[in-house]
Structures are given as C-alpha cells and as structure tokens.
Chain A
Amino acid sequence: MSAALKTDYLTINMGPQHPSTHGVIRFIIKTDGEIIHECDPDIGYLHRGIEKLAESVSWQGFVPFTDRVDYVCAMNANLSYSMAVEKLMGLEIPQRAEYIRVIVSELNRISSHAIAIGAANMDMGAFTPFVHLLREREHINDLLEMICGARLTYNYICIGGVNYDLPPGFKEKTLEFLDHFEVVVEQINRLISYNQIFIKRFANVAVVPPEMAMQYNLVGPNLRGSGVKFDVRVAEPYSIYPELDFDVPVGEGYEGTLGDCYDRYLVRVKEIRESIKIIRQCLQRIPGGEHKAVVKNVIKPPKGHIYFRTETPRGDTGYFIYSDGKTSPNRLKIRTGSFTAMSIIPEIAKGVFIADLVAIIGSLDVVAPELDR
C-alpha cells in the first residue's frame, strides 16, 4: 500500500501578497499537510536601493529617506542616522534637543509597539484589539503632528538637533494622553494578552534559546524575549538615557518556555510601560534653551567610518557610515532589526503548523520596508 501511494511535500507560496506577512514578503514553504517541513523566506520585494541613493544625496538630504526605511517608527530612524552623523562630526547638540528627541522617539516607540501588538493579535484572529490600538496610535499621531505637521514620515530630527521647538500645550496634551493610555494598555492586556486561547497560541511556539538568539544576532525585544538582558540604551548609553530611570524587561518564560512567542510579545507590552515612564520623566525635566545647534547648510564630515546603533522598537538599528570627506556619504549601510529577525525564521519554523508561522512573523514584528531598505 505504502509503496503504491507516493507522498510528496506540498509547496505553498505564502506571499508576496498575503494578509499576514506584514508587507510584501514571500515565504516558500514546504508542508506535510499542515506541518511546515521547510520555510524559505524570499525578501527584496521592497528593495528601493536606499543605500545606493545615499551615495548621491547630501548628508541632511538623507534624513527623509530614513523615514522610509521604517515608517512605523520614523522618529527612531531619524534619530539613529542623525546621531551617527553627529558622532562622525563630533557635534555637540543642545540639551533641550536631546530631551525632545527622547520624548518623540519614545512616543514613536509606543505607537510602533502598539502596531506590533495589534498585528500579532490580528494574525491570531482577534481583530478588535488591533483596531483599539490603532485608535490609540491616532492620538500619538496627533501629538507628533502638533510637533512637526506630519503623521507618518516626520523628518523632524535633523543633524544638530530637532527642526522645530515643542509647540505650546504639547506637554499638557502628552500627559493627558499618557494618563489615558496607561489604562488602555491594561485593558488590552485583559482583553487579549491574558486570554487563554491567545496564550495557547503563543506559548511554547518557536522557542529561541538565548544562545541561538546570539548566534543569529537577534536584537531588541526579540533578544530580550529570549532572556538576554541587553538594551543599547543601557549598555551603550547615548543621548540623555543614562540620566533616566527605567527598567529593561526581559522574557522569563511567562507562560511556557523561555524565548517563545509569548515572551517576545509580553516584552513589548512591558516596554510600552517603560516608555511611558521615560516620557513622564523627560517632560518633567526638560530644560529651556535652543532646540538646534548651528549647523552649516553643506556639511562635510571628516574622513572615517562609524557604526552607530540606537535602540529602535524593532531592535537596534545600526548605521554604518563611511565618509570620505565629501558632501555625501561614500557608503551607508543600515543594519535593521527585522533583517536579523527574518534570518532566524528558516531555523525556527521547522515542524510547526502553518498557523504557527503566522504567529512567528507576528511575534518577531517584521516590517517589510525595513527588511529590504
């Protein structure tokens, strides 16, 4: 009987247009019924050649491009690039600008994590938390619109500081939002994070032990979900983070094995609370003064190379810049969190269900434009 029946793996093309791939990513999966035997991610559908473009635009002119590298947390991308160039130039920026930068990037971190959590919920079939979190993100977008007039790609943080000072009333509005949002986070937790079906779907799925996470260089919440207590804001402090008081949440195997999807998910939830804490402190301490250092229109950083990384919602985003002392970078490479997170998928998506692959993508919080650049 078994000799007569030839069984074969079913090769399925998941993507590039698929509801749960969070953008244009393609997975070529070989399945045995519902169980994935092999998964090969195919990326590059959103490759826009930003690194090539960087070689022909001015140093300041590249800031809007960083918005497009990761549009879910554009402020953090702005910050990474601006700080890398400032380090290269040895530029000092005013204290007020540092505070504003931290406030906006933490606000953006909240909105990015809200999307990550909501999308993970939606992949699991719970649509309502996603919409609720989008509503909260709207409030953050309103706040950021007050600051810079844009809602998605801000181009707000620039080399030497920030483009505009805080508008009047921003502090009050932000505090009001934080009061509101703290409650909402707990409600979302009660609605979905502590839901037994949700926990069953996420716990013990796609376990990434700490050693594997280091081998593949997972970064940010994904790394901390595996129990490695590492945060660039603490380990390699930049800006005003050393003065602030906040915790680094790590995965502890909350509902199962250490480093499973649920750990990664819950680390994000906890990071939202930490971000709220940081913003409150910053709003309290923000000094007066200039919001931007004096920077020439045409800058020529000295010859040299730098690899600078900051903590963005999807892990640390590193900017490698090689300057040959001209008006545009000679080489610029962006190492993003999604890229390394994606490279681990072939390893962990073996012997799991198709539905689990969706959970893995959701818990790793992959954003396609950041992946391909």
Chain B
Amino acid sequence: MESILLGLGLEEATAQILGAILKALIVLLFFVTVGGVLTWVERRLSGFMQSRLGPNRVGPQGFLQWIADGVKLVFKEDLVPDGADRVLFRLAPYFCLIGVFCTLVVLPWGSGIIIADLNVGLFYFISITSLVVIGVLMAGWSSNNKWSLLGGMRAAAQIVSYEIPVGLGLLVPILISGTLSMQGIMASQGWLPWDWMLFKSPFTVLSFFIFFVGSLAEANRIPFDLPEAESELVSGYCTEYTGFRYAVFFLSEWANLFVVGALTTVVYLGGGNLPGMISGLWVVSLLVFFLKTGLVVFLIIWIRWTLPRFRIDQLMKLSWKYLLPAAFLAFFGQALWMLLTWKLPLVQLAMAVLIFLTFLVLLYLFIKRVSVNIKEQKTSVNSPLPAEAGK
C-alpha cells in the first residue's frame, strides 16, 4: 500500500500515514460488510435447515436484506432507559466493536497479505478480544435491568473462563510452529491436508477441539449463548438497546463469527497456503482462505441451529473440569510427541496421514447416515386427493 502511494510521488511520512488510514478504512468497510452478509447467510441457512424460506425479498435471494435491516436500525430512535448509567450505556457497544475490529489487523488473508504482521500476533489476538467482555459487562450493568445484569454477569464469567483453555489450547500450534506471528504459523503448514496443523498429531486434534469449543463460548454462540439466552434472559445484556447501538452489538457478534472462522483457518487448517508452483498467486490464496473460513463459519452456524443450550453450572464445569485438564494434556502430550519423533519426520508424516484418513472415514460414515435420514424424511405427505388426481 505504502509503495503505491510512494509511487504517486508522496513523501514517505505522508505515505505512511495515508496508507495506514486507507488500510483502516478498507478493514472497517470489510468488517461491516462481512458482519452484514453473515447475518443474511445465517438467516438463509437456518431457513434451509428448518424447512422455511428465510429472507428472500430484498435483492437477489434476499441478499440485500442486511442493508435494509441496517438502514432500518440506524433510523430507529436511540433510547436510553430511565435510570441507566448514560455514559457507560452509550459507550458499551463500541467496546465490543473495537474488541472484534482490532483482531482483523493481524489476520493473514493469504500468504503475505496482512495488515500488520506483529511478532506477537496470536498473543495480541487473544488479549484484544478480551475487550468484548468489558463491553458486554458495561452494557449489562448500565442498562438498569435485572435481566441485562444477569446476562452481563454470565458473559463475564463465561468469557473469562473460556479464555484460559483457549489460550492453553493455542499453545500446541505455537509449540509446533515456534512462533507467535500469524504469518509464521501459516507458513509452518503446507497446502496438503496432512500438512495442516489439525492433523499433525492426536494432540493437535485435541487442541483444535478445545480451541473450537472455547471459541464458540467466547463468541456467545449456541450451545454457549447464555449471556443472551432469549428464552431465559429475554435478550440478556442487549435487552435495552435499540437502533444503531443494537446494530453495533449485532454487527460485532457476526463479525466475531467470521474472526473465529478465520483464526481457525489460519492456525489449524493451513490458511491460504498454496502448492509451490502457484504460490505467487495471491488472489487464489485469498480465495482458498475465504473458502476454508466459510466452511468453518458454516459449521458454527450448523451447530447453532442444531444444539440446545447449556446451563450456567454445566458451562463452568465443562470449562474448568474438562477443557482445562484436556488443554494441559494436549500441551504436554504434544511436547512429548515432538521430543520422541524429533529425528523421525517419516513417523510424523505417517501419523498425520493416518489421522487424515480416519477423518475421511468418519466423514464418509456421517454422510451415509445423513443421506439415509434425508431419504426417510422424503416420505410423501401431500399427495393429491383421489378425487383431485382424476382431474
């Protein structure tokens, strides 16, 4: 970006500043678009899963629905409830927004495409997402609503608890790649599935599982959507929000969905790595990245529309009693595994291929089962009446 600006004949300092502003703008626009589009994707997908239509009126297949919703929300009155802490109430959504927004800085979209390749990228990522807790807690506290307060407290307890297993789970990829830089982690993997972090050893599979579950909890998705459990807490921390501020909450939630998908892709699924011969094509790399992210996001949406919700004590139990010990196990196990196979790259490769093949077999069995279910479902129920059929 800077080089283009320099080429236009600008001074270096100006080019740096202008470049930074331009990048931020691009990311912001991307963030808004991705959040919006994902709301549409989720609604259409859930419609498909629930044998209904979902939004399909605005634009082709209802694609522009998110813009219509956004416009509607922006024009709504911005209410502040009586007795609320006005400053905190108005401030809270932006904490959520910033917490998610800042993560995009270190996301590598493809090999070499990154805004800032910090050498503590992953660490930065984990710490900046903590800002979301503060936003949610502020929203819950300042709303002067008991349901909101409960929602905020639940969110704080939940997100803080799940950050620990997630952080520990992420240590396994760091152990393998030997770096905290996002580009470095991506580069340590290859384009073939058994070169991905996920399949490298049994412990990376465990670490992936911990990370994925923990990320669902941090993103407040079902089965961990307790902070806004609509059947218990009405709408949790955002009960009292209207209009634009409500939109900001929702935007950050869906953008967070994308961020979780992207991080999973980069750390575990090989990111935008390409085969050696076409490694220079950054467009293809970007496409690969988005495809993988899309798959992960689809998986998260699928889980959301399938599973029920945990109870708060079960949620805490899962984090502290199961995920945390499992994360330790994954970390030490991986360390041991690396020491044992330090000199034996072939064993490592064989193990990776074996895990990948197991995965394929499981996938095949799953698809077979699903196809049987779909076939059973197709028992006809709306055949015409005998009298009508004769006409």
Residues of A bordering B, CB below 8 Å: 10, 12, 18-20, 33-34, 121-128, 131-132, 135, 139, 168-169, 172-173, 176-177, 179-180, 183-184, 187, 190-192, 195, 197-198, 200-201, 353-356, 358
Contacts and interface: CB of A to CB of B under 8 A. Distances in A.
A151 to B, nearest CB: 16
20 contacts: A10-B146, A12-B146, A18-B234, A19-B231, A121-B308, A125-B225, A126-B306, A126-B307, A128-B305, A169-B385, A179-B379, A180-B381, A183-B376, A183-B377, A192-B308, A197-B307, A200-B314, A201-B309, A201-B311, A355-B312
Interface string B223-256: 1011001111110000000000000000000000
B146 A191 contact: no
Given A122-B231, A125-B231, A128-B50, A191 B306 contact: yes
A95 to B, nearest CB: 25
B223 A125 contact: yes
A351 to B, nearest CB: 12
A255 to B, nearest CB: 14
A200 B311 CA distance: 9
Nearest to A119: B231
B379 A123 contact: no
A353 B46 CA distance: 29
B232 A195 contact: no
B387 interface: yes
Given A131-B50, A183-B376, A354 B308 contact: no
A103 B166 CA distance: 55
Given A168-B385, A179-B379, A354-B150, A128 B223 contact: no
A175 to B, nearest CB: 11
A25 B249 CA distance: 30
Secondary structure call for the A interface: helix
B330 to A, nearest CB: 22
Given A125-B225, A125-B231, A201-B308, A187 B373 contact: yes
A126 B308 contact: yes
Contact of A139 (B153, B306, B381): B381
A197 B377 contact: no
A131 B48 CA distance: 11
Contact of B312 (A125, A128, A169, A353): A353
- Specify which of B146, B230, B310, B381 lies most central, judged by the most chain A CB atoms within 10 Å of its CB: B381
Contact of A125 (B146, B222, B377, B380): B222
Contacts of A354: 150, 232-233
A20 B306 contact: no
Nearest to A139: B381
A34 B150 contact: yes
Contacts of A184: 377
Contacts of B314: 200-201
Given A169-B386, A354-B150, A195 B381 contact: no
B311 A19 contact: no
Contacts of B231: 19-20, 122-125, 358
A158 B49 CA distance: 41
Contacts of A180: 379-381
A168 B308 contact: no
B322 to A, nearest CB: 13
A195 B308 contact: yes
Contacts of B380: 176, 180
B50 A127 contact: yes
B311 to A, nearest CB: 5
